[in-house]
Structure 1
Amino acid sequence: MKCPICEGKTRVRDTRLRENGFKRYRECLNCHVRFVTYEKVDLKSLWEVVK
């Protein structure tokens, strides 16, 4: 994931499980800004169309 400030690379400092996904604490390796992302799994049915 890119940093929202400088678009540098980030690392995950901590991950917490939530009822509908994950809460990840991230830190930029370039400018050292810390921020939080909320991620969830999106399960959708896949359809195959055969002609």
Structure 2
Amino acid sequence: MTRDEVTGLLSKDVPLRERVLWTMLYETAARADKLLLLDIPDLDTANRCSR
């Protein structure tokens, strides 16, 4: 995908859960199955990372 396509996708009016998932997939290059296993306590929002 081009940067413009990604920007367009991330700017769509979708539920927060999907937007966070798409952003994390794009910014981390993590596998979707690993991201879907994360729970809220796994997220360190102050440092923008996960455990």
TM-score range, shorter chain: under 0.3
Whose relative contact order is higher, 1 or 2, with alpha carbons under 8 Å and at least 6 apart?
1
Larger Rg: 1
Compute the TM-score of the two structures, normalised by the length of structure 1.
0.25
Compute the TM-score of the two structures, normalised by the length of structure 2.
0.25
Higher normalized strand content (fraction of residues): 1
Higher normalized helix content (fraction of residues): 2
